Amino acid sequence: MSLSALRHNCRRARELSGPDVAVMAVVKADAYGHGAVPAARAFLDAGAQALGVSSVAEAVELRRAGLAGALLVLGGAFPGEEETVVAQDLAVALWDADQARALAGAARTAGRQVAVHLKVDTGMTRLGLDLADVSSFAALVRGLGTLRVAGVFSHFASADAVETAAARAQTGRFVGAVEALVAAGLRPPEVHLANSAAVLAAPEARFTMVRPGIMLYGYSPAPHLAARAAVRPAMRLRTRVARAHDTTVRDAPGNRRSGGHCCREAERGAARLPGQARRRRLPRSQERWRPRGGCTVIALRSFALVTLPPPAGEAERDRGPEQTVPGDARNERCWTASETEHK
Ligand SMILES: Cc1ncc(COP(=O)(O)O)c(C=O)c1O
């Protein structure tokens, strides 16, 4: 892992967002497989003002590693996690009335306030308040007394394509929701919608804060945004060739399936990831990882494979020798999958 690449990418997100916009670095899913603790530290070093994780468990992991500061659980808290949220001083996404009451109760018992970011569903139909319920929910939250509304946010339905009419419509609905909150007497200090693609291509979605994920790890959300992103892949894998064969002979023409994913005709050979890495579930960014050099990393729940093109001028790879999958790591700091798993 290259910490300097992670820092560089975070600084790019800050530059692109502008001086008045805060960056919440998204380090969910073990920082997209890069190791949540070292990645989070690198992003805070590079000026990120907050961190975003999926779950209370992920947030606790960061707190245990000594990371203080603003930490938002983007997926909200489950019933039973309220005391941990209060004790660990976490901010949580909130859209549910029962959860609001439970959090407020836990905060009251502890004699504290708990920070919440109201999540509005503007089109993803995953998590969040329906637009029609925003005003009444604001009234409920105000009435509970121990919830501090630190933010309001939403997420684009199509994370990598934000220059579309559908995405602009989502932004419009989000603005409507924020106005409804203000009319109901709530003015959340942080207003955020933009993920990486919007940092790069949708300035109207930046508001007071942005939540980049994928670009921080060095990948552009879409090929046409790569030049603007100017980010550097932070991960490099070393692996050994498990099988060398020519998939074009057996299966051409067209694509074939491999563990539910398509292998392109041109990809030949497969190299197994080291044992620890194999057990890890790598998230979206690495499921089909295409670093410079044109290989593909296929890393799923049950197995992890790298398909490598043959070296230039050769028909296929030799089985056995260690191969390096290029990234941007320059050996300045390495950690292994087992280190990030057991930290
Ligand atoms: C709520 C939320 N915000 C921001 C992000 C970061 O998105 P991206 O990786 O597209 O930048 C994610 C990632 O899944 C997310 O779930």
Q: What is the pLDDT of residues 233-284, one digit of tens each?
A: 888 766 666 666 554 444 444 444 443 333 333 333 344 343 333 333 333 3
Q: Judge whether residue 86 has pLDDT over 90.
A: yes
The pLDDT confidence band at residue 5, using thresholds 50, 70 and 90, is very high
The pLDDT confidence band at residue 310, using thresholds 50, 70 and 90, is low
Q: Are residues 83 and 211 in the same domain?
A: yes
| Mean pLDDT value across residues 320-335 | 48
pLDDT given at position 36 = 93
pLDDT given at position 255 = 47
Q: Provide the percentage of residues in the chain whose pLDDT is more than 90.
A: 61
Domain-located, residue 336 = no
Tell me the CA–centroid distance for residue 213 and ligand 1, in Å: 5
Tell me the CA–centroid distance for residue 201 and ligand 1, in Å: 15
pLDDT given at position 129 = 96
Lowest mean pLDDT segment, chosen from 53-57, 78-82, 90-94, 235-239: 235-239
Residues 6+ apart with CB under 8 A from 321: 240, 241
Residues 6+ apart with CB under 8 A from 53: 26, 27, 28, 36, 59, 62, 71, 72, 73, 74
What average pLDDT does the chain have? 80
**Which atom of ligand 1 is closest in space to residue 75's alpha carbon?**
1
**Which atom of ligand 1 is closest in space to residue 54's alpha carbon?**
16
| Mean pLDDT value across residues 6-12 | 97
**Which atom of ligand 1 is closest in space to residue 93's alpha carbon?**
1
Q: Are residues 144 and 57 in the same domain?
A: yes
Q: Are residues 22 and 94 in the same domain?
A: yes
Q: Judge whether residue 116 has pLDDT over 50.
A: yes
pLDDT given at position 1 = 84
**Which atom of ligand 1 is closest in space to residue 285's alpha carbon?**
9
Domain-located, residue 331 = no
Q: Compare 282 and 196 and report the one with higher pLDDT.
A: 196
Q: Are residues 204 and 257 in the same domain?
A: no
**8 Å CB contact between 273 and 290:** no
**8 Å CB contact between 234 and 222:** no
Domain count of the chain? 2
Q: Are residues 192 and 272 in the same domain?
A: no
Residue ending a domain, among 220, 245, 274, is: 220
For ligand 1, residues with CB inside 6 Å are: 26, 74, 155, 159, 195-197, 211-214, 221
**Dist CA 320 CA 303 (whole Å):** 18
pLDDT given at position 307 = 58
pLDDT, tens digit, 9 for 90 and up, residues 92-108: 999 999 999 999 999 99
**Dist CA 279 CA 297 (whole Å):** 14
pLDDT given at position 279 = 33
Tell me the CA–centroid distance for residue 191 and ligand 1, in Å: 15
Q: Are residues 283 and 158 in the same domain?
A: no
Tell me the CA–centroid distance for residue 155 and ligand 1, in Å: 7
Domain-located, residue 333 = no
Within 18-152, residue ranges assigned H as helices are 28-33, 36-45, 56-64, 82-87, 97-110, 134-144
Three-class SS state of 301: coil
Q: Are residues 187 and 243 in the same domain?
A: no
**Dist CA 343 CA 340 (whole Å):** 5
The pLDDT confidence band at residue 126, using thresholds 50, 70 and 90, is confident
Q: Are residues 192 and 252 in the same domain?
A: no
Candidates 152, 195, 190; CA nearest to 174 is: 152
Q: Compare 315 and 328 and report the one with higher pLDDT.
A: 315
Q: Are residues 41 and 168 in the same domain?
A: yes
| Mean pLDDT value across residues 57-75 | 97
In DSSP terms, which residues pair with 257 in a beta bridge? 262
Q: Which of 9, 17, 74 to mutate to test the pocket of ligand 1 (most atoms within 8 A of CB)?
A: 74
Range of the domain at 9: 3-220
The CATH number given to whatever domain includes residue 64 is 3.20.20.10
pLDDT given at position 150 = 98
Domain-located, residue 343 = no
Tell me the CA–centroid distance for residue 306 and ligand 1, in Å: 25
CB-count burial class (<10 Å; 0-12, 13-18, 19+) for 98: exposed
Q: Are residues 69 and 210 in the same domain?
A: yes
pLDDT given at position 239 = 62
| Mean pLDDT value across residues 198-204 | 96
Q: Judge whether residue 7 has pLDDT over 60.
A: yes
**Which atom of ligand 1 is closest in space to residue 155's alpha carbon?**
1
pLDDT, tens digit, 9 for 90 and up, residues 143-181: 999 999 999 999 999 888 898 999 999 999 999 999 999
Q: Are residues 207 and 284 in the same domain?
A: no
Candidates 322, 325, 298, 321; CA nearest to 309 is: 325
Q: Are residues 59 and 106 in the same domain?
A: yes
Domain-located, residue 229 = no
Tell me the CA–centroid distance for residue 27 and ligand 1, in Å: 9
Tell me the CA–centroid distance for residue 25 and ligand 1, in Å: 9
- The token duo for 167 is 């995405």
**Which atom of ligand 1 is closest in space to residue 212's alpha carbon?**
11
Domain-located, residue 338 = no
Domain-located, residue 232 = no
Domain-located, residue 227 = no
| Mean pLDDT value across residues 185-196 | 96
Q: Judge whether residue 294 has pLDDT over 70.
A: no
